[in-house]
Amino acid sequence: MIKISSGGSNKPTILIDGGIHAREWVAPASVVYFIHQLVENQTNHYMFENIDWYIIPMVNPDGYEFSRASLNNVYWRKTRSRSNSTDCIGVDANRNFDVHWMESGSSDDPCKITYAGPEPFSEVETRNLKGVVESLGNCTKLYLTFHAFGPLILYPWGYNTDLPNDWATLDKLGRDVSKAIYSVKGTNFTVGTSARKTYPAAGGSDDWIKAVGGVNLSYTIELPPGGSRGFNPLTSNIRGIAEEAFEGVRVYHAYVEKNFEGNCTRRI
């Protein structure tokens, strides 16, 4: 995890992650690009004047490495834990959070790609994210988790098709972000709840951070395919996907800066 801050007292915080799913390579690549833009590009330094950033580019490194190491395993999605008596390895980390766990879109079969794990937070990867969220106390105002592939901007709920109380706020901000991305080169991100725009699936990081972690603004961003190869866009398309997504991050930043101020309390 990297923290990007201009120092001083604790400020409203944006938490970003990528790589919960191993095979979605463009997600960690894009999140690393965001770090690069924030840190190395002077014209973006205004983005950490009033806002602190905590960024985890690679939540599931063992799964990622496994998917990279052999062409046979490029579609690996899960962690690499051995948590059961079968020969099947790994848990779908985005079904492993303790929020309506196993209620929908999840499997209790360790051999399935949506295996939710033997219990909530069975995985070190999901426990790590939980620990970060808890340590950030009341500072986190926005959570963005990057996946592939869309293009979709999703907000809770994912476990069923209900709308959260503040859905209008989530929807408006999501559409503003979508507009900003569209203006780069015409990529059209669809905006809506996870369950309505994809399928009901419980135990995701997005639902957990909103329902339990106290972060109202929570989005899963499914980056576009970038060619016909879905999770792994053509090499020549990776940078363009990251660049347009960063224009969305800029809109998120402006919203948090405008709507939140004052000191907060955290342990890290």
- What is the binding site for ligand 0X9 (CB under 6 A)? 21, 24, 94, 147, 154, 158, 194, 198, 201, 204, 206-207, 220, 222
Beta-carbon-side half-sphere exposure of residue 115 (alpha carbons within 13 Å): 23
Task: Please report how close the Cβ of residue 24 comes to Zn ion at its closest, in angstroms.
Answer: 5
- Indicate the burial class of 9 (C-beta count within 10 angstroms; 0-12, 13-18, 19 or more): exposed
Using omega within 30 degrees of 0 as the cis cutoff, is the peptide bond preceding 61 cis? no
Determine, following the binding rule CB under 5 A, whether residue 250 of this chain makes contact with Zn ion: no
* Residue with Cβ nearer ligand 0X9 (81 or 205): 205
Residue 78 near Zn ion by CB under 5 A? no
Check residue 265 and report its DSSP letter.
Answer: -
Nearer to Zn ion, 52 or 92 (CB): 92
CB 172 → ligand 0X9: shortest distance, Å?
20
**140 with 108: CB under 8 angstroms?**
no
The CB-of-194 to ligand 0X9 minimum distance in angstroms stands at 4
State the catalytic residue, choosing from 125, 222, 244, 257.
222
Question: C-beta of 147: minimal distance to Zn ion in Å?
Answer: 3
Note whether 100 binds Zn ion by CB under 5 A. no
Catalytic residue list contains 222: yes
For 4, residues 6+ apart whose C-beta sits below 8 A from its C-beta are 35, 38, 39, 48, 52, 53, 55
Between 39 and 113, name the residue whose CB sits nearer to ligand 0X9: 113
Q: Which is nearer to Zn ion, 13 or 106 (CB)?
A: 106
* String of DSSP letters for 54-99: EEES-S-HHHHHHHHH-GGGTT--S-----SSSS-----GGG-SSS
Window 136 to 155, contacts with Zn ion (CB under 5 A): 147
Given ligand 0X9, Zn ion, none, residue 194, with its beta carbon under 5 to 8 Å by kind, binds: ligand 0X9
Distance of alpha carbon 100 from alpha carbon 258, whole angstroms: 33
Q: What is the CA radius of gyration of the chain?
A: 17
Residue number of the CB closest to ligand 0X9 reads 158
Of 33 and 146, which CB lies nearer to Zn ion in the complex structure? Answer: 146
Retrieve residue 7's tokens. Answer: 């120092």
Residues annotated as catalytic are 222
